[in-house]
Amino acid sequence: MSVLAAGLGPCRARLAGYSRVVEAPRAGEAQRSLGSPELTAQGLREVGYLPSERIASVVYLGRQLAKPVLVEGPAGTGKTELAKSVALMTGMRMIRLQCYEGLDEAKALYEWDYKKQLLRIQAGQAAGATGATGAGAADWAGLESDIFSEEFLLSRPLLAAIRSPEPVVLLIDEVDRLEVETEALLLEVLSDYQVSIPELGTVTATQTPLVFLTSNNSRDLSEALKRRCLYLYIDYPSVEREQEIVRSRVPGIGARLAAQVSGLVRSLRDIDLKKRPSVAETIDLARTLFLLGAEEVTPELAADTLHVLLKYQSDIEKAAKELAPGLPA
């Protein structure tokens, strides 16, 4: 243990320098709204996202330590929404990379615009045919360095985020859908904010992007990826927070109805269901009841609107039986 403590001394010394680099001046807006966990929370609240204290702290840390944030949690708890809200709050542009099985370099990082390259070669040939022939070798060298220049490079999301002159929010959505092998594509971007292109060299970010990765935990991500990220697990919200979310998302809803809806959803989540209701579905239910003009949830109304929350017939029957034993399913 003492060895460990001693070993950390130099690290801390290095870190002091590290944080200074990060604190270099950046866009005024981002500076203000990501200045402290409280400001982050307040900023997020202003754009309609109600963060828990943990969420606000981790977003703040992501900025301060210049580290990507890996967000995990059940479906429909606001993982993608968080990244969108941060973009909205800071006024940064959001670049989104939707992951899927079979995503490759050409779609995630960059691609050479080979049609344009062909045109350039043909144009060169045409010019050569009319003008004097000669100095072919020199021509070719010039042409080669020309067609492998930035002009012919098509930026895909990751490179676009790195090359962007203004700071951006990069959202890498559903990263668990990538195959393990493809995951490695992300590592260079995530740890050093740079992309190596063999023909061009290394493109390094001038502005550190805010990176969010989301995952539904359908498989374990590799240690290498996790190590590079801050980890944030967004679980179903507490009943109080969910109530607040409902009230902010369904303006005009009565306090009692909001309380009942969130209480109902919380009770449903405790039952052993195939798919537990998400926050998005809670909001749907609240909106439905609000539009129906309900003042409060009666058992009959609950039984009639359960299908908004639950998407399996067996779940609906079970929930109806659990909640009000006397009622017909």
Partner 1 sequence: MTAPRDATLAAFVAELRTIGLPVTVSENVDAMAAVLAMPVTDRAALKSALAATLVKNSDHYGAFDLVFDIFFGGGGPGPGAPAGPAAQAGPDAPAGRGAPGGLAGGGAGVLTALGDDDLADLLLRAVAAGDQLLIRAIVAEAVTRYAGMEPGRPVAGTYYLHRTVSRLDLARLLRRLLASAEAGAEAPGAPGPAGPAGASALDRRLTADEYARRVDAIRAEVEAEIRRRLVADRGIEAVAGTLRRPLPEDVEFLNASPQQLTALRQAVQVLGRKMAARLARKRRHHRRSALDFRRTIRRSLSTGGVPVDLVFRKPHPAKPEIMLIADISSSVAAFARFTLQLAYAIRSEFSRVRCFVFVDGIEEVTTVFESAPDMATITRHINSGTGAVRLDGHSDYGMVLESFWDQWGPQVRKRTSVIILGDGRNNYHTSRSWVLKAIRQQARHLYWLNPEPARFWDTGDSIISEYARHCDKMVECRNLRQLRQFVEDLD
Which residue in the set 226, 244, 248, 284 belongs to the binding site for partner 1 (CB under 8 A)?
226
Residues 194, 208 contacting (CB under 8 angstroms): no
Reduced to 3 states (helix: H, G, I; strand: E, B; else coil), residue 262 is helix
Interface pick for partner 1 out of 46, 91, 314, 329 (rule CB under 8 A): 314
40 binds partner 1 (CB under 8 A): no
Residue 60, H or E segment: helix 53-64
Check residue 20 for interaction with partner 1 (CB under 8 A): no
Decide if residue 277 touches partner 1 (CB under 8 A): no
Min separation Cβ 232 and partner 1, Å: 6
Q: How far apart are CA 280 and CA 308, in angstroms?
A: 10
Q: Which residues inside 59-78 make contact with partner 1, applying CB under 8 A?
A: 61, 64-65, 67, 69-70, 72-73
Which CB contacts under 8 angstroms, 24+ apart, belong to 219-223? 219/176, 221/70, 221/175, 221/176, 221/183, 222/180, 222/183, 222/184
| Whole-number Cα distances in Å, 219 to 99, 108, 180, 183, 216 | 14, 20, 10, 12, 8
* Segment 231 to 250, residues that bind partner 1, using CB under 8 A: 231-233, 235, 238-239
Among 86, 294, 302, 309, binds partner 1 (CB under 8 A): 302
Cα distance between residue 301 and residue 321, in whole Å: 14
Of the residues 30, 33, 37, 161, which one makes contact with partner 1 according to CB under 8 A: 37
Residues 190 and 233: beta-carbon distance below 8 Å: no
Asked whether position 311 contacts partner 1 by CB under 8 A, the answer is no
214: phi then psi, degrees, rounded to nearest 5: -115, 150
Backbone angles phi, psi at 164, to 5 degrees: -60, 130
The one among 57, 90, 288, 305 contacting partner 1 by CB under 8 A: 57
Residue 2 or residue 133: which is nearer to partner 1 going by CB? 2
User: In the complex with partner 1, which residue's Cβ is closer, 120 or 321?
Assistant: 321
Report the residue number, 157 or 277, with the smaller CB distance to partner 1.
277
User: Rounded to the nearest whole angstrom, what is the least distance from the CB of residue 124 to partner 1 in the complex?
Assistant: 34
**Alpha-carbon gap, residue 212 to 134, rounded angstroms:** 54
Element (H, E) at 215: strand 210-215
Beta bridge partners of 69: 212, 230
Residues 84-123: x where in contact with partner 1 by CB under 8 A, - otherwise, as a string: ----------------------------------------
> Which part of the chain contacts partner 1 (CB under 8 A), choosing from 7-15, 117-125, 138-146, 151-159?
7-15
- Residues between 249 and 268 that touch partner 1 (CB under 8 A): 256, 259-260, 263-264, 266-267
Q: Are strands 93-98 and 168-173 parallel, antiparallel or unpaired?
A: parallel
**Residue written as tokens 């949690």?**
73
Binds partner 1 (CB under 8 A): choice among 54, 91, 202, 329: 54
Task: Note the residues at the interface with partner 1 (CB under 8 A).
Answer: 1, 4-5, 7-9, 11-12, 15, 18-19, 36-37, 52-54, 57-58, 61, 64-65, 67, 69-70, 72-73, 217-220, 223, 226-227, 229-233, 235, 238-239, 256, 259-260, 263-264, 266-267, 270, 272, 274, 296-299, 302, 314, 317-318, 323-327
